[in-house]
Structure 1
């Protein structure tokens, strides 16, 4: 498989994901856009020709609407260069950055400008931004909205960093009313602090940590989100659902007309509490990974369409912070580093359950794109940017955290054997990742086009040119 040198080329494959099925097709690309989707063997004049091997699938570039990049301020945890390299290696061509754990957090228009300047220096895929809703900026969210954020994130329990405070129930309703008036959306870390255990050492056993963040806390907070969204008419989104027993409440709220979406993450669909070893704090995240029976119910939510998106919640830190307290689950930093391996991990589990690839693909593409309100991305269609990925569903991947492209060599997926590999990723028709020995040659042929900074207003800014 060689990369065509022309700015006009056609990619032919026996299996192309068209949004619902895998079909034979020829995808015509010109000047970074998809201009036509034709029959697989349709002639295309004046275009370089590329045929995808029969064992691979052509996908739209994936969308990850939940990524913590942390730059500036905590760039030693993760930066835009390393995060977007990992994204490209995982077939992800669009990420939406969370408003923490950077310093400053993205809670003002000025802070957003700082974040955009940091991203402009090194992003290799396209990057959009969430704003933050914290006690200090309630009533003043409009400038951030006008500056182009895709919505506002809040916590209902302590976030783990002092500069990003959480909302109480009264403040939650105020935030909902404000985002409804703006026509925006509120995305919520839903845990009830009244039902969480006290901070501090818990020991090396995972059971104590899991008990400290019970499913009842998540369920209580989700009910509060549903009620506030019902009262205000706001669009609301539940982040990183781990409590599958909250799915009936979400289904009922939607049936009653509440504008509510929900995501889950690869680690909740592929890892279970019963398998987490003592001291293995790389598995710590909030809300926590729960039991196998809970995972089974989450998969029901994936298959029946209740869950709208599968996103990484890539929340890295330094190895020292992840290992703080010598593996004490109460003292270690919480967060899973998995941006690069999300599709492979979920496909491995789906395949074992007899779930077709085309069932999960919308949750990595159009699902998260719709959650963020992103237009055009996540699909292969005329007029869409030529964000594409070649995925080989039968390839075996032995995950080594030292070889993953995010900044710090620690991950809950380290040592796992997965099925499915991204072989190549294009961003607007330019190769930004290629596996194997040809990777360096691909970059030399095509150059490094750089990601762009995305804005809710639709503006696109090339990396290196600053932000509008």
Structure 2
């Protein structure tokens, strides 16, 4: 059976049912997991290890000192030294202060020290569809790209993260496999309204919903009225609703053309589908006073509507993705299903207006929407856009992709860091991430801004070697990534599970 999801993702994979979200069934899966691993059932996750440590003793030596001529900070880039103790930034001084530590790293003259990136839109798909991706492969890719924190989407894993047992089950798979820190979104689907507050209390960072078919039966969409009900509920405890905003009726009535022509696929996902759905989200945000976030904006037509909503004072933010900022419909060859995603990559003039939306602050930040699948699903139908699974895998490449475009446009690296680290961290409440400041986690990326490289899908860390960027020359390479002051070695996972309010 072939399904079609909100990203235009056709698949011949077995269609699963909502019964897989049943809490009692998931509790049995949790019990089976513990038995298979010879474990007693675990208690709820406690505080992060770094939060349990005693107050920092300024008399103790630093665990690590990094020195460089271009180090990010509250006042831009400068020659600085950073002292790290117990996984946190304990001191920031001008270069020459001669901070001493057990380990000292001198950055090369062409290297810039950045805060680790924060990617709040990642589909890891484990458990249940681990052949598409998994915690180990996804977080290795993240670390290789300078991303030190990811938030995992509630689908396409089985079960979806729509109740507390499903969250606990997913965390069992993540706990010993993550190379970066990882938090989780909950899902809002028809019938799980009573589960939203318990999921919030269990630590999810907010709730994702779809306004059209998600492509997997275990994660059905909300109607506009159900979205309003969910927003009313999440507003009661201060959480946020993040929305895949495309209007189902518009897409159902758009031309549906099979085959390898990209223009036919583009016409099947018109801008009006986004524009109408975004307007509906804004109206429900206004009605409820809720907190909302628009996912993966691709239609520049909605920018003025969004800007007006922000001027009105609505609690609304918007993201876009590297593929919408670096690709254009005019350059996509027919049959090149590696480029397929939904909302789709649109025309060059649309891309330029998205950049302008970023510069003006209408779009708040940039995330990957890393949405992988197997090679077989991605190439289904031998280049037929109607059958191939949609989604772009770019978790490892995001910083280089955006910097390549930003630098040629005269946009400075400081602003890129804001879009890809500071702003997403602030929006989701990651209060110790996204900046190089005393007291923050020592999550760092060593970035060679002038180095170039050619993308080779076979050298990327995500599970399936496919990317629309194959053979593309990019500027800027991440040479090292540090998670809480420890250099990521890609062999021993040290990532921690994050909970909203404790991160």
Common topology (TM > 0.5): yes
Comparing 128-137 with 298-307, greater Cα deviation is found at: 298-307
Structure 1 contact 19–362 (Cα < 8 Å) conserved:
no
CA distance in 1, matches of 2:371, 2:135: 13
CA distance in 2, matches of 1:416, 1:373: 35
Relative distance call for 1:85 and 1:214 in structure 2 (3 A) is same
Q: Deviations over 1:205-245 (max 9, x none)?
A: 11011101100110000000101011111110000000112
CA distance in 2, matches of 1:248, 1:231: 20
Deviation of the 1:48 alpha carbon: 3.2
Give the SS at the match of 2:381: helix
Q: Deviations over 1:393-447 (max 9, x none)?
A: 11111101111000000111111110000000000111115xxxxx8xxx7xxxx
- Where does residue 379 of structure 1 map in the other structure? 435
| 1:69-80 alignment runs, 5 A limit | 69-80=124-135
- Where does residue 200 of structure 2 map in the other structure? 145
Comparing 77-86 with 363-372, greater Cα deviation is found at: 363-372
1:89 aligned to 144, 167, 175, which one?
144
Relative distance call for 1:48 and 1:321 in structure 2 (3 A) is same
CA distance in 2, matches of 1:404, 1:320: 18
- Where does residue 40 of structure 1 map in the other structure? 95
Find out whether 1:457 has 2:501 as its counterpart: yes
CA distance in 1, matches of 2:481, 2:69: 18
Comparing 43-52 with 94-103, greater Cα deviation is found at: 43-52
CA distance in 2, matches of 1:272, 1:45: 49
Give the SS at the match of 2:90: strand
Relative distance call for 1:169 and 1:328 in structure 2 (3 A) is same
1:256 aligned to 292, 303, 312, which one?
312
Find out whether 1:317 has 2:373 as its counterpart: yes
Relative distance call for 1:7 and 1:123 in structure 2 (3 A) is farther
CA distance in 1, matches of 2:74, 2:269: 37
Structure 2 contact 256–265 (Cα < 8 Å) conserved:
no
Structure 1 contact 155–190 (Cα < 8 Å) conserved:
yes
CA distance in 1, matches of 2:150, 2:422: 13
- Where does residue 406 of structure 1 map in the other structure? 462
- Where does residue 238 of structure 2 map in the other structure? 183
| 1:214-363 alignment runs, 5 A limit | 214-363=270-419
Deviation of the 1:384 alpha carbon: 0.8
Deviation of the 1:7 alpha carbon: 6.2
Relative distance call for 1:151 and 1:206 in structure 2 (3 A) is same
Deviation of the 1:201 alpha carbon: 5.8
Structure 2 contact 135–173 (Cα < 8 Å) conserved:
yes
2:247 aligned to 169, 181, 192, which one?
192
Deviation of the 1:162 alpha carbon: 1.0
2:154 aligned to 85, 90, 99, which one?
99
Tell me how large the CA RMSD over aligned residues is: 1.5
**What runs of 5+ residues in structure 1 fail to find an aligned partner?**
1-5, 434-438, 460-468
CA distance in 1, matches of 2:84, 2:105: 11
Deviation of the 1:84 alpha carbon: 0.3
| 1:145-184 alignment runs, 5 A limit | 145-184=200-239
Q: TM-score with structure 1 length normalisation?
A: 0.92
Q: Deviations over 1:68-122 (max 9, x none)?
A: 0000000000000000000000000000000000000000000000110110131
Q: Deviations over 1:123-160 (max 9, x none)?
A: 11000000000012024311111110000000001111
Give the SS at the match of 2:488: strand
Q: Deviations over 1:161-216 (max 9, x none)?
A: 11100011111111111111121000000000011046976210110111011001
| 1:374-453 alignment runs, 5 A limit | 374-433=430-489, 448=492, 450-453=494-497
Give the SS at the match of 1:153: strand
4+ runs deviating over 2 angstroms: 45-49, 197-201
Q: Deviations over 1:264-288 (max 9, x none)?
A: 0000000000000111101111100
Comparing 415-424 with 352-361, greater Cα deviation is found at: 352-361
CA distance in 1, matches of 2:111, 2:226: 49
Q: Deviations over 1:303-357 (max 9, x none)?
A: 1222111000000000000001111111110100000000100110111212111
CA distance in 1, matches of 2:482, 2:107: 13
Deviation of the 1:302 alpha carbon: 1.4
Give the SS at the match of 1:222: helix
CA distance in 1, matches of 2:71, 2:98: 17
Comparing 96-105 with 393-402, greater Cα deviation is found at: 393-402
